[in-house]
Amino acid sequence: MKKLNAIGLDLEKSKEMAEKLNDLLANFSIFYVNLRGFHWNIKGEKFFELHDKFEEIYDDTEVKIDEIAERVLTLSFTPIHAYSDYIKMSEIKEVKNMSDGRATVENLLSSFQTLLAKERAILAMAGDMDDEGTNAKMSDYIREQEKTVWMLSSYLNK
């Protein structure tokens, strides 16, 4: 007989999902810190619009970080919560002292590609294990981020 967690999902599959979510959590956490740096250090003629946009994205990212960690807990596991683990695990790397508007937006686009790929993998796994809670979150994240990618790409004339 399969062991189930408190919400009725297979415990072994939930453990795999928690690992994938912790990986996503690490990537979002480094992404968040990079965004804060972009917000604080942006310079140039596009300062006002990028300063505000970066704040909008990091506010949204902060909410997602909390939601992902709480989903790991809901699945009966522990979210990672040390920056040393985030740095070790994250495919998105720390960016220091970047103040050029075009470079910051290009970095965001690359980071969103990484996040979207991870979210799509989680979405597929969630569907396979009937994890509707994770499925719904990933679906929402993907929809929102695809629109942001379109807008940032348009900003760069791509």
Q: pLDDT by residue (tens digit) across 25-81?
A: 999 999 999 999 999 999 999 999 999 999 999 999 999 999 999 999 999 999 999
Domains and CATH numbers, the chain: 11-155 (1.20.1260.10)
How do residues 95-115 score in pLDDT, each as one tens digit?
999 999 999 999 999 999 999
Measure the CA–CA gap between 14 and 144, rounded to whole angstroms.
25
Is it the case that residue 131 has pLDDT exceeding 90? yes
Q: What's the whole-model pTM score?
A: 0.97
Give residue 10's pLDDT band: very low, low, confident or very high (50, 70, 90).
very high
Tell me what percent of the residues of the chain surpass a pLDDT of 70.
Answer: 99
Give residue 1's pLDDT band: very low, low, confident or very high (50, 70, 90).
low
Residues 29, 68: contact at Cβ < 8 Å? no
